[in-house]
Amino acid sequence: MEKINIIGAGLAGCEAALQFADNNWQVSLYEMRPEKQTEAHQTAFLAELVCSNSLKSKLETTASGLLKKEMKLLGCKLLPIAEECAVAAGNALAVDRDKFAMEVTKIIENHPNINLIRREVTQLNDELTIVATGPLTSDAMTKELIKYVGEEHLYFFDAIAPIVSAESLDYDIVYRKTRYDKGEADYLNCPFTKDEYYEFVNALNEADKHEAHEFENIFFETIKFHFYENCTPIEELARRGKDTLRYGVMRPVGLEDPRTDKRPFAVIQLRAENSNNSSYNLVGCQTMLKYGEQKRILRMIPGLKNVEILRYGSIHQNRYLNGPHILNKNLSLQKKDNIYIAGQLSGVEGYVESIFSGLLVSRIIQDNLQELPATTISGQLWRHLIAEQENFQPMNANYGIIPALKERIRDKKLKKQKYSERAIKDMEEFLINR
């Protein structure tokens, strides 16, 4: 019987444990709770959902719904349990969090091939192991990982700027240009007049802000300690002074509008998120504003009046590895290839994505999986973890990461349906032909 160690019995770790155990592997699954709690978990149950109870949309025409469909095709173990524990939530798959966690705990505790060991793991050995210790990986394990990845590749925070869809931008207003025309024009620019800028700053100052939890205070002490000034939220910069933003992330120098040759009063730059330029990141605009406020205030940015937000900004404690620099394609560590990384620690973002990651690493190890279709959300999430990129940040399921359709479709609903149909068809064919 083949053997594997899995460290961390969260979403990724439990999915992986069941994938191996059901396939007749002997699994040693390590979980440090309840002996040692994280700042966010509250129970001793495995697969605890630390915040919202929503696993997002069930609709296959949404990116999250499509990812779920792909995961089912790949044989996901936790999604069917989530469905059994679902509560009414319209088109979303929301679960009774205690029921879900208790059910997963029961299945794992009773599984003849899983040995659940309740203790913190502080060292890595030479045995086949998956590390799935999550965004709140314990300090001792963090230090251990640093030995193999280097301190510079272990990130301690997650400052995320919103991502918006390219097709929702107003191209009569935004324009393409890099600062001082250096390099290729990879940026789109949203030009502010003086009045627009001060209205924007006022709105940021008056906006409804997210209340920090205790663990986030701890996290901010970490930020101060590490001087991660470049992840300061825009609302905090606005609070520091009415001109702080326009001398910082919104400075307009070298960004004259080519249509008028005039320099705007301030500029927000958008950087492409992917090679087909279907989604853009608001450079330097990481924010802790509540989602409703983000939507309202982003629409005040010139050119973003009808913006579609693909991912909201956020800042919270999140330990994750700089995958593209330290992981092999099969998600093992370049410097210790018996150790595989799964879950949020590997650079995916979200409950469903973390479950997916546990599933993916299991398939890679058991079936020597080499690839998934490029048109699928799962294929592109995997690619994201290993593809060379500037400023690596955790990624969730969104349509911006998959390649554009061959035909140009204006109707958004139809377009999403086509994306979904293409992905499901390609995944089904891929699995049949394997």
Q: How far is the CB of 294 from ligand FAD (least distance, A)?
A: 16
CB of 333 to ligand FAD, least distance (A): 16
Residue 128 burial (10 A CB sphere; 0-12, 13-18, 19+)? middle
Minimum distance, C-beta of residue 7 to ligand FAD, in the bound complex (Å): 5
Q: Which is nearer to ligand FAD, 219 or 280 (CB)?
A: 219
Is the CB of 130 or the CB of 188 nearer to ligand FAD? 130
Spatial contact of 393 and 158, defined as CB atoms under 8 Å apart? yes
Alpha-carbon distances of 130 from 222, 347, 432, rounded to whole Å: 27, 15, 28
Q: How far is the CB of 160 from ligand FAD (least distance, A)?
A: 11
Minimum CB separation of residue 255 from ligand FAD in Å reads 35
Of the pair 121, 249, the CB lying nearest ligand FAD is at: 121
Q: How far is the CB of 356 from ligand FAD (least distance, A)?
A: 10
Q: How far is the CB of 178 from ligand FAD (least distance, A)?
A: 33
Task: Report the nearest approach of ligand FAD to the CB of residue 163 (Å).
Answer: 16
Q: How many CB atoms lie within 10 A of CB 291?
A: 13
Q: Which two tokens stand for residue 255?
A: 């960004």
Closest CA to 192 of 307, 306, 305, 301: 301
Q: Left (φ > 0), alpha (ψ -120 to 50) or beta: where does 282 sit?
A: beta
Which one, 33 or 69, has the nearer CB to ligand FAD?
33
Comparing CB distances to ligand FAD, the nearer of 223 and 404 is 223
> Which is nearer to ligand FAD, 171 or 291 (by Cβ)?
291
Q: Are 366 and 383 in contact (CB under 8 A)?
A: no
By beta carbon distance, the residue nearest ligand FAD is: 10
Rounded to an integer, what distance in angstroms lies between the CA atom of residue 354 and that of residue 370? Answer: 19
Q: Choose among 356, 234, 376: nearest CA to 298.
A: 234
Residues that bind ligand FAD (CB under 6 A): 7-13, 30-33, 38, 40-41, 50-52, 120-121, 132-138, 141, 316-318, 343-345, 350-351, 354
Cα 187 from Cα 63, distance rounded (Å): 25
Concatenating the DSSP letter of every residue in 8-76 gives: --SHHHHHHHHHHHTTT-EEEEE--TTTS--SS--SS-TT---S--EEEE--TTSHHHHHHHHHHHTT-
* 6 or 301: CB nearest ligand FAD: 6
Helix pair 97-110, 11-21: axis angle to 10 deg? 30
User: Looking at residue 173, what DSSP letter applies?
Assistant: T
CA distance 204 to 302: 15
Nearest distance, CB of residue 67 and ligand FAD, angstroms: 12
Q: What is the DSSP string of 314-328?
A: EEEEEEEE-HHHHB-
Nearest residue (CB) to ligand FAD, 160 versus 169 = 160
Pair of tokens at residue 223: 């930020």
318 vs 393, beta carbon nearer ligand FAD: 318
